[in-house]
Structure 1
Amino acid sequence: MDRRSFVKNGAVLGAAAAALPRFGFAQVKGSDRIKVALIGCGGRGTGAACNMIAADPNIKIVALGDLFPEKLDKAANKIHDFAKKSVGESKASEIIDPSKVKKFSGWDNADQVLAEDIDVVIEATPPVFRTPHYEKIVAAGKHAFLEKPGAVDVIQGRKMYKLAEEASKKGLCVVCGNQRRYDNRYQDLVKRMQDGEIGELLAGQCYWNNGGYIGAWAHGKEGTEDTLEYQIRNWWCFIWASGDNIVEQHVHNIDVLMWAFGSDRMPVEVTTGLGGRSTDLPCPRYGDRFSHFAIDYDMGNGLRMASYCHQDPNTTPNVSERIIGTKGIFQGLRLTDHKGKTIYAPGKLELDPYIAEHKYLLSAIRNGRRVNELRHLINSNMVAIAGRMSAFSGKRFKYEWMVKKSEENIVPQNVDLMGKTQDLSLKNPVSVPVPGKYKLV
């Protein structure tokens, strides 16, 4: 993504930005209000809707969907409050009217939302729903903003690759929430690395080390922890609902390295996967996921990638990336020589990337251009999944085996993600994976 073009036009349209078939954008002209729906009305979904308003207030949010009905009014009011601050009270209701916006709840809320007259969908549900919902979004012929991650396991990842191709064939835009790709500083530095400014790239390290366990505030009645409702309400704590923190959160940092290396350069082998649950929180009350991971990837031709993430209280936080080249190092959002002297530092942040990603999407829709960023996300997503599988099992394996042959499916067998209804009181017993006992499939 070229930084100058992005800043000038609000989007990079590149070689893939050919004119679309008429059916793709027949209802959206440059000055029209783009009709938006939000599926997933939690904090990130509500935030994404506000980010979209900041990017382009000439939108109308016409429908909200969430599994749990109590989230709908809260989201509508928060988005309306943000709109009032952005465009003034008199115009805010043109963007969203809390009393008139359509609201749908229940297991089939996505189906109900997609039956409405909309142009683009913000999908920001718990990660396990992303793939089945995007399948429905593509079938309905809608553009989409998808939060990360795009998949929680190998089966979903393979499906998303196919959906990315199908979306392109239909002329549908899809932009994803790996927002560092929309940060002008990262764009500048990645281009310089790809142009050889720090020489041949030899190794990269990425980190998302939190100073606390996300989900330590888990809520719900004691004794209900093995029900679907509890686990979905506390999705960040449960592997099947979140993908674990290496997939749900640390994918951001993995994505930066993958981008710099060349987004289609995939690992040859996952050589080492370590992890565990050192956080002193009981399972299943606080989920079954690991609190820390350390993964080594062989990227081929001598290039290595190391991934580190943890969520342990009272530990030093570090959210960053580092890439070593023959002539220098990328670290701390700058390029240095091997002794730490700055070679190059980018300018200031020009636009909040949480806003820039929506500006990129909406500009493409308005201008009848095709942008499809899903494959980049799923590449990084699958690398994170591979790291999780290695850490859970304690095994090394070829990346190609995972992509082509693994049958890993972590969604509970009694859960129909594509169905119309689901009994949320269904039991789903969980336990923390044990390396050496967890089986690769």
Structure 2
Amino acid sequence: MERRDFIRNSALAGAGIITSSGVLANGLGFHNNSVGALKIAYIGCGGRGARAVKAALDLDIPTELVAMADLFKDKMDGKEKVLLNNVKDKSRIKVTEETKFTGFQGYKDAIALADVVFITTPAAFKPTIFAEAIKQGKHVFIEKPVCVDSVGFKQIIAAASLAKQNNLYVAGGLQRRYSTGYQAVVNEIHNGAIGDILSAECYWMGGPIGDLSRPRKEHWTEMEFQNRHWRSFAWVSGGNVEEYHVHNIDIVNWVLQESHPQSVLAMGGKSPDKNFSGSLGGFDSLISNFKYKNDVSVHSYSRNIPNCKNKNGEYFYGTKGKCVIAGGAKIYNHKGKEIFSASSKEHGRFHGAHDTVQKVLMESIYHNKKYFNDAFYAAESSMTGAFGRMSGWSGKEMKWDKAIESKVTLFDYTDGTSMNSTPPVLPDTLGNYPVPTPGKTIVI
């Protein structure tokens, strides 16, 4: 099938539902079905997004950056300069001042101009933006995590289902699934190398993810301050579990071949030092005991505090041996003899497959390769992190089926949201932000 026919068919597939909801077919962004470059909208102009866009613009197939959107123009301008200084072919950057959109609602106009939407905003905003992109009939790259609570989870799943129905490709930012090293070791486990898995551990213990040492400008509203320091606030980022540890949780779900655990009991806490915290309004340490089918027990450890012991990896224990994944991967039999090894030397960095995500997505769209949609497992893994957070914050043991029905949301993103809106958490007279109180905090 030629690209012209593929683009036309994708647009028409979406139109059956999209036009019925009031969105015109000529707003799908496929530019008169011409055989041209895949047009990209870059929404959420941070470092991860800039790397993703660069990877897409440097591909051999024709690609163009036609629109950008961010809450802040200075952020957009800065990342446009980064791209102009680093993209191989600068002529592929077609953004103009008229196609750079600011504010909480700017994403809608950016989506309308594109074939493929790169959603690299903080997690709290992704469900709404993803739903709009799919509604407008666009293919999507959505960086992890994709949601911070059950309301956003269900919104992602609904949009992912519509994307699948309309043959819209979705690539997710859980890039370890694109790593040949991870693929090799997971394949060994799935083929029975360690037997039936009895238990597992996963860790992301590292430095802080937030930083409030940068000064607050007088003209900023509280909403602007928190969004300019979004990693420091749990309601925007989802907290340290979602922002970083979701990678480890996703590997556990993948290895266990389960979309999610059945139950969780968690506990955590917050350091008194607020400057480095990634979880104001939340915790910066969380230990979760997830129970999967067949009573498989998984211990999840997330902590982001400076000057502490760091650890990152996944450990699986089975009836025939164990597997350790930490930089590389090794499998041992029940006697402790190494029977499999996968290293970065032969597979490249285990945690460095970011650019592969964009390559697979853009080439799949352009050449009409086998359809895929990562949004489902990205949503399940992101919600698994939120599941642990809900248990830790409340102090309650949680069942999955009940947790995903919760209507308690960290943030309600609407068409009326602006920099003058009141954020979900506010400081007290001493400048301290609230901390969840297990036994009192309501999550369902």
Q: Same fold judged by TM-score > 0.5?
A: yes
The CA RMSD over aligned residues, in Å, is: 2.7
**In 2, Cα distance between the equivalents of 1:224 and 1:434?**
32
Paired residue type of 1:48: A
Cα offset, 1:231, TM superposition: 1.1
Paired residue type of 2:43: I
Residue 110 of structure 2, aligned match among 107, 113, 130: 113
Cα offset, 1:287, TM superposition: 2.5
Cα offset, 1:132, TM superposition: 0.5
From the superposition, tell whether residues 222 and 423 of structure 1 become closer, same or farther in structure 2 (CA, over 3 Å): closer
Write the mapping of 1:272-291 to structure 2, written as runs, cut at 5 A.
272-281=265-274, 287-291=280-284
Q: 1:393 maps to what in 2? A: 394
Q: Secondary structure at the match of 1:345?
A: strand
Q: 1:232 maps to what in 2? A: 227
**In 2, Cα distance between the equivalents of 1:53 and 1:339?**
50
From the superposition, tell whether residues 112 and 21 of structure 1 become closer, same or farther in structure 2 (CA, over 3 Å): closer
From the superposition, tell whether residues 314 and 392 of structure 1 become closer, same or farther in structure 2 (CA, over 3 Å): same
Matched, 1:349 2:352: no
Q: Secondary structure at the match of 1:250?
A: helix
Percent identity of the aligned residues?
Answer: 30
- Conserved? CA contact 1:263–1:379, under 8 Å: no
Q: 1:364 maps to what in 2? A: 364
Residue 414 of structure 2, aligned match among 418, 427, 430: 418
- Conserved? CA contact 1:200–1:326, under 8 Å: yes
With normalisation by structure 1, the TM-score equals 0.85
Write the mapping of 1:93-132 to structure 2, written as runs, cut at 5 A.
93-97=90-94, 102-116=99-113, 118-132=114-128
Paired residue type of 2:388: G
Write the mapping of 1:150-229 to structure 2, written as runs, cut at 5 A.
150-210=146-206, 212-221=207-216, 227-229=222-224
Q: 1:13 maps to what in 2? A: none
Paired residue total: 407
Cα offset, 1:93, TM superposition: 2.4
Q: 2:380 maps to what in 1? A: 379
From the superposition, tell whether residues 154 and 242 of structure 1 become closer, same or farther in structure 2 (CA, over 3 Å): same
Cα offset, 1:175, TM superposition: 0.5
**In 2, Cα distance between the equivalents of 1:225 and 1:286?**
21
Paired residue type of 2:110: V
Cα offset, 1:431, TM superposition: 0.8
From the superposition, tell whether residues 284 and 304 of structure 1 become closer, same or farther in structure 2 (CA, over 3 Å): closer
**In 2, Cα distance between the equivalents of 1:98 and 1:219?**
30
Q: Secondary structure at the match of 2:109?
A: helix
Cα offset, 1:440, TM superposition: 3.2
More displaced 10-residue stretch of structure 1: 419-428 or 383-392: 419-428
With normalisation by structure 2, the TM-score equals 0.85
- Conserved? CA contact 1:207–1:320, under 8 Å: yes
Q: Secondary structure at the match of 2:133?
A: helix
Paired residue type of 2:38: I
Q: 1:5 maps to what in 2? A: none
**In 1, Cα distance between the equivalents of 2:280 and 2:61?**
39
From the superposition, tell whether residues 268 and 317 of structure 1 become closer, same or farther in structure 2 (CA, over 3 Å): same
Residue 259 of structure 1, aligned match among 248, 254, 257: 254
Q: Secondary structure at the match of 1:38?
A: strand
**In 2, Cα distance between the equivalents of 1:223 and 1:254?**
40
Q: Secondary structure at the match of 2:315?
A: strand
**In 2, Cα distance between the equivalents of 1:289 and 1:242?**
11
**In 2, Cα distance between the equivalents of 1:391 and 1:54?**
43
Paired residue type of 1:244: G
From the superposition, tell whether residues 282 and 436 of structure 1 become closer, same or farther in structure 2 (CA, over 3 Å): farther
- Conserved? CA contact 1:206–1:308, under 8 Å: yes
- Conserved? CA contact 1:21–1:171, under 8 Å: no
Matched, 1:439 2:421: no
**In 1, Cα distance between the equivalents of 2:422 and 2:441?**
24
**In 2, Cα distance between the equivalents of 1:222 and 1:73?**
19
More displaced 10-residue stretch of structure 1: 370-379 or 216-225: 216-225
Deviations for 1:7-54, whole angstroms, at most 9, x for unmatched residues? xxxxxxxxxxxx979521685999842111100111221122123234
**In 2, Cα distance between the equivalents of 1:148 and 1:205?**
21
**In 2, Cα distance between the equivalents of 1:76 and 1:394?**
45
